[in-house]
A and B are shown apart, each in its own frame.
Chain A
């Protein structure tokens, strides 16, 4: 099976999900392709409404890729269950013997708006995709800037939040006025308005901060995985299981070993402090004032975050 057939399979899967009333949205690499920046992405990353977990799992169980039936991928994959999806976990699926890989999550990492409220079906909104791309991977950042420019080209002022090249910001600022609300949300935009030579350094500092925050966040999840994966490995060892049987086993293991919400308000405060400290050790002190307040990006994941 070639990769184009696999991509068609993913698109058909999402279409069938939507026909069943399952709210879901393709994001990350495949969404970037749809938004006119080609990304050679092998996986399908899919946001799925957590409350439609059972319906989507049933659909996966009924959706072979060629002759291969869907399975959970690896021992680390949490179950596709609202309790864990709402806590920021990701479920991983594969079709053994093929190059079909699907990652499903219920909450868009770092998204400051609900992905369900605003979609460009079957894709997540570019604003959500851009927030999700703020990872520690260097290669993701030019995609964020492109999505920012895309948004501004449609008159969507949230594009200003997603530009990570000083020259690009200045060019766009010469075409449009940056709204004060955007400057409030992202202080370094003031440097663009003032044509300050500090802009590039401030952009780089912000990127470092986001990357440190991304790595710190992952650590909070990964430290909880070992007991769970050991339990799954033991429970599934030597057996060939259907997806639904795997799911039952994983629910049992997760109820015993996998916290629902590894990142609560207290952990978040610690995470931000750690990320900030790591960033300040690398940047000039005068750049600290231009770092954004990223609590907005975690309010959906951590309800009640102040």
Chain B
């Protein structure tokens, strides 16, 4: 049985948020951590810019259709 959602104090929520941000920075770098705080459509705009920029520099779309999702 899945336990019910636990009610967190404001301090707990803030601390978990800090831990998460720290993980984001370690795992993805400062730039992605910064972008991840932007409003949603700005995040999408930034991600789109990354992709367009990659394509301009020859980065290929590599995911071939396999009939099944990994």
* Residue positions of A touching B, CB distance < 8 A: 2-4, 6-7, 30, 33-34, 36-43, 45, 73-74, 76-78, 88-90, 92, 99, 101, 103, 105, 109, 132, 135-137, 142, 145-146, 149-150, 152-158, 165, 168, 171-172, 175-176, 179, 181-182, 214, 217-218, 221-222, 225, 228
| A37–B36 touching, CB < 8 Å | yes
**Complex partner residue of B1 from A40, A42, A73, A181, CB under 8 angstroms:** A181
| B67–A105 touching, CB < 8 Å | no
Give the CA-CA distance A37 to B43 in the complex, in Å.
Answer: 9
**Complex partner residue of A149 from B2, B23, B28, B46, CB under 8 angstroms:** B23
Kindly list chain A residues whose C-beta atoms are within 8 Å of the C-beta of B40: 33-34
**Complex partner residue of A218 from B7, B8, B32, B70, CB under 8 angstroms:** B70
* Closest A residue, CB atoms, query B36: A36
| A36–B67 touching, CB < 8 Å | no
* Closest B residue, CB atoms, query A217: B68
Chain B nearest Cβ from A133, distance in angstroms? 9
Give the CA-CA distance A126 to B52 in the complex, in Å.
Answer: 27
Q: Given known contacts A42-B61, A135-B70, A221-B67, is B16 in contact with A142 (CB within 8 Å)?
A: no
Chain A nearest Cβ from B59, distance in angstroms? 9
* Closest A residue, CB atoms, query B38: A38
Kindly list chain B residues whose C-beta atoms are within 8 Å of the C-beta of A42: 51, 61, 63
| A90–B67 touching, CB < 8 Å | yes
Kindly list chain A residues whose C-beta atoms are within 8 Å of the C-beta of B55: 99
| B70–A37 touching, CB < 8 Å | no
| A90–B66 touching, CB < 8 Å | yes
| B16–A152 touching, CB < 8 Å | yes
Give the CA-CA distance A89 to B66 in the complex, in Å.
Answer: 9
**Additional 20 contacts, C-beta under 8 A, given A36-B36, A221-B66:** A38-B46, A43-B63, A77-B65, A89-B67, A90-B69, A99-B61, A135-B70, A145-B23, A146-B23, A146-B27, A149-B16, A152-B16, A153-B8, A157-B2, A176-B12, A179-B3, A214-B70, A221-B68, A222-B68, A225-B66
| B68–A168 touching, CB < 8 Å | no
| B51–A76 touching, CB < 8 Å | no
Give the CA-CA distance A2 to B50 in the complex, in Å.
Answer: 11
Give the CA-CA distance A109 to B68 in the complex, in Å.
Answer: 9
| A156–B5 touching, CB < 8 Å | yes
| A4–B36 touching, CB < 8 Å | no
| B66–A218 touching, CB < 8 Å | yes
Kindly list chain B residues whose C-beta atoms are within 8 Å of the C-beta of A181: 1-3
| B70–A155 touching, CB < 8 Å | no
**Complex partner residue of B13 from A109, A153, A157, CB under 8 angstroms:** A153
* Closest B residue, CB atoms, query A76: B67
| B45–A175 touching, CB < 8 Å | no
Q: List 28 A-B contacts (CB under 8 A).
A: A2-B52, A3-B47, A3-B49, A3-B51, A33-B44, A36-B36, A38-B28, A38-B47, A39-B47, A40-B50, A41-B47, A45-B69, A89-B67, A101-B61, A103-B65, A103-B69, A135-B70, A137-B70, A142-B27, A152-B16, A153-B13, A155-B7, A157-B5, A165-B27, A168-B23, A171-B19, A176-B16, A181-B3
